Structure 1
């Protein structure tokens, strides 16, 4: 085990974590090389400061290279904020972090009447960064910066403070949107991250180790870089740079030499826990769409192609007799795959989405993440050496094209569609919604199957997904029990009842 720990590579979400009187780090630990997922925070000790002398090498084409970054820094620095995320922990929340000495020596005992059970533990404070994107207080940051926070305090570059509200958060992209009640702020204009080129100069602006308004410079080392972590982070197409990024930079700005926001700094790849030359940012082509969805729908409307894809390798080339070496090879399909329905087959190589080249599965993810369920796209693929163009309609993970509400997405994990006229006639009813798809959540936990026809919830008839949302909202806000009593029928007409606990 010790050997495994020593050889494990740390993938850090770059925000700092402290208990009262101590400072640590938010770290992301790499467990294996996968293209999806995020890891979770843990603590490190304080770093040390060392002076470093640096002499810049001579540059080719210096007429296009910046003499310095003063102008772009002055235009951008007021658009980056410090975020303090306060997390209040009770004994039961501490889990393995708190060991009761009585239990250690004498074993578990009945704590029912123990006044220490809900005693508050010292507050933890996470330090991260954020980027102002509107004059009226909208700020973009990382999901892992605000996750589990009981209070968020935003400090602008001129040392003014506001308490912030989380508007929405998306673990799959590690992007969150928060808001402060302020006017006349200095947003950073959003640039086109797809036009960014490898070798281009960029600046990282944030609050590493709680050192406010820190600016570092580097170049774009790669684009469309896959995630090297696992967990919730499923959308993985990062901008890789060598601009120095450390704990506290999470949620900070990556800007080009025009002062345009082209990425949100998210993580580093390191064996030591500190910057080692590799940092990663979520491109604004992904982050902007996430923010738009959160504002409009309360949750991200995520479209899927429904393929299992892989970068091209020698093994895949032999297996499928592939004729080209760039693109994403289709090696399987998800349930209700829109790509499969449109005629894509195993062994096809995706080369373009809406005429935009895709050279890897990460780039396919980046392009698809720009669209919503119901959007129509064209995909160009290579099949046995011949190019084909296929048009298709994207769907969500539940297999529908309908927008998913925040309540349905976060609580029920399901998509619904109205019972059609044929179904109503067959069952002799005038209402009902069909469970069109399941993606985890409370319905699946309760045993409600896909295709089940919901007739009523808590004795209220339902005919649309809006009806379901309204009832769920009311139960969450008003009912002390937080339970849904669902009456419905299987496709064969057999009536069934389910109790769904929302607590």
Structure 2
């Protein structure tokens, strides 16, 4: 019995010594490699507000958003039946209904408001929307803005729909993870992942109207247009819009309208019926090597003011020609598309703080944005302005914009200035934004025909070739 007790005591003692040695040596050594929670003493900056790295979990963001992205079908209806056999295929021989195109849309309210691209629904006789659960609805166009390529449509449903809340696109950072959610090639509910490759990217697709896109390497293909670009929290930070590719398919990068711009356009359409465009009141351009040499600048980034519009907020705040704009509110202005991208998210009457350089010295001014009421149409050599009801009546014009001044010395200024342009290429115009949209969509090789009313109220036509 004594032997058994002795053996038992030795076994327990040996186990205790072994366990103590492990705790003392091995665990102490392994603890040296555990992440330390004391970030104050760490030499590696830690940002706890973001989840970066290749082990980011996208499942929650995908689950939050995939049910709020819809398939949008642009349907044309032809009287007298389909015009060709190809127009019968999407719906069978169904009285001349043809699928003109398809894309995606993002539900932004539980009662059925949907954001998509204007080019997805443009020219549609009918719009059909299919939810992720395969339910189909007819949609109504609430409004659209061809310039930004954003449209707002709505479906009527008694049930509350899942939707994606807007995030703040100004807060997105280069390299931040994003998801593209849409319906490429009519494949429903597709999610791809990538990063923010660039911000305020201008594709230079329009003269005198810089754009400001989010660039991403998340795979976007035909059919993704109008779909959602979301962060890993499932917030909408962009509307997928464009692909830059010779083949028309994904080759490594794509572009989205920033959510702040899309949200502002949608709110304008819902509240005012059209887009309320605020302007700073300057003309200028990005700093480049030529400007650096000409003006002996000590900065290589920013926007140099070339001209200040009389009566604008910029003039009233004291901004001058050759000032260099470096920052607006908390947004760095490194190039002109940074400026236009931020200003396009604002309305007339909003105030912004502008930080600028003047003769090498920093200066800060507050600018109240004014409404865009004049437009230079360089191809016509004319500046036009919104016309008042009194001006339309005086010139016996049913609609139109006023010719403010001529930009080309060869044009007959005395005959044109003050006249009302009512149509451009047989399309009615009622505002300078209409003019901008028509000029944007025209084929550059085509001639331009304007119908205008002169000072005597006589209806005339002019052709630009």
Scaled by the length of structure 2, the TM-score of the pair is 0.67
- Could you tell me whether the CA contact under 8 Å between 1:136 and 1:185 is conserved in 2? yes
After superposition, residues 79-118 of structure 1 pair within 5 angstroms as 79-88=68-77
Higher relative contact order (CA 8 A, sep 6+): 1
> What do the CA deviations read for 1:334-373 (whole angstroms, capped 9, x no partner)?
5754424543233211112234322211110122112212
After superposition, residues 210-225 of structure 1 pair within 5 angstroms as 210-225=186-201
Alignment of 1:177 onto 2:152? yes
1:257 to 220, 223, 232: 232
1:393 to 351, 355, 368: 368
Alignment-derived partner of residue 209 in structure 1: 185
Alignment-derived partner of residue 305 in structure 1: 280
Pairwise CA distance, 1:293: 0.3
- Write the distance in 2 (CA, Å) between the matches of 1:241 and 1:299: 29
Pairwise CA distance, 1:333: 4.5
Scaled by the length of structure 1, the TM-score of the pair is 0.62
- Could you tell me whether the CA contact under 8 Å between 1:198 and 1:219 is conserved in 2? yes
Q: 1:315 to 1:448 in 2, by over 3 A?
A: closer
Aligned residue for 1:270, secondary structure, equals: coil
- Write the distance in 1 (CA, Å) between the matches of 2:168 and 2:331: 14
Alignment of 1:135 onto 2:105? no
2:259 to 276, 284, 307: 284
- Write the distance in 1 (CA, Å) between the matches of 2:139 and 2:169: 27
Alignment-derived partner of residue 290 in structure 2: 315
- Could you tell me whether the CA contact under 8 Å between 2:403 and 2:418 is conserved in 1? no
- Write the distance in 1 (CA, Å) between the matches of 2:74 and 2:309: 38
- Write the distance in 2 (CA, Å) between the matches of 1:156 and 1:413: 43
Alignment of 1:147 onto 2:122? yes
After superposition, residues 33-432 of structure 1 pair within 5 angstroms as 64-65=52-53, 66-88=55-77, 123-182=98-157, 183-230=159-206, 234=209, 236-333=211-308, 337-398=312-373, 414-416=386-388
Q: Which has the larger radius of gyration?
A: 2
- Write the distance in 2 (CA, Å) between the matches of 1:298 and 1:220: 32
Aligned residue for 2:203, secondary structure, equals: coil
- Could you tell me whether the CA contact under 8 Å between 1:322 and 1:347 is conserved in 2? no
Q: 1:268 to 1:90 in 2, by over 3 A?
A: farther
Aligned residue for 1:299, secondary structure, equals: coil
- Write the distance in 2 (CA, Å) between the matches of 1:390 and 1:500: 46
Alignment-derived partner of residue 400 in structure 2: 442
Pairwise CA distance, 1:449: 5.4
Q: 1:384 to 1:277 in 2, by over 3 A?
A: same
Aligned residue for 1:245, secondary structure, equals: coil
- Write the distance in 1 (CA, Å) between the matches of 2:136 and 2:416: 47
Alignment-derived partner of residue 26 in structure 2: none
- Write the distance in 2 (CA, Å) between the matches of 1:354 and 1:451: 40
Q: 1:343 to 1:321 in 2, by over 3 A?
A: farther
- Write the distance in 2 (CA, Å) between the matches of 1:67 and 1:392: 42
- Could you tell me whether the CA contact under 8 Å between 1:355 and 1:379 is conserved in 2? no
- Write the distance in 1 (CA, Å) between the matches of 2:346 and 2:313: 14
- Write the distance in 2 (CA, Å) between the matches of 1:500 and 1:295: 37
Pairwise CA distance, 1:378: 2.6
- Write the distance in 1 (CA, Å) between the matches of 2:164 and 2:322: 43
- Could you tell me whether the CA contact under 8 Å between 1:173 and 1:234 is conserved in 2? no
> What do the CA deviations read for 1:384-433 (whole angstroms, capped 9, x no partner)?
21111223322222169xxxxxxxxxxx972549xxxxxxxxxxxxxx57
- Could you tell me whether the CA contact under 8 Å between 2:229 and 2:256 is conserved in 1? yes
Please give the root-mean-square deviation of Cα atoms over the aligned residues, in Å.
3.5
- Could you tell me whether the CA contact under 8 Å between 1:336 and 1:399 is conserved in 2? no
- Write the distance in 1 (CA, Å) between the matches of 2:133 and 2:222: 22
Q: 1:63 to 1:295 in 2, by over 3 A?
A: closer
Aligned residue for 1:145, secondary structure, equals: helix
Q: 1:153 to 1:499 in 2, by over 3 A?
A: same
Unaligned runs of 5+ in 1: 1-59, 95-119, 401-411, 418-431, 436-440, 453-464, 466-485, 491-495
> What do the CA deviations read for 1:55-83 (whole angstroms, capped 9, x no partner)?
xxxxx999743443222111110010000
Pairwise CA distance, 1:499: 6.5
Pairwise CA distance, 1:269: 0.9
Paired residues, number: 346
Aligned residue for 1:123, secondary structure, equals: strand
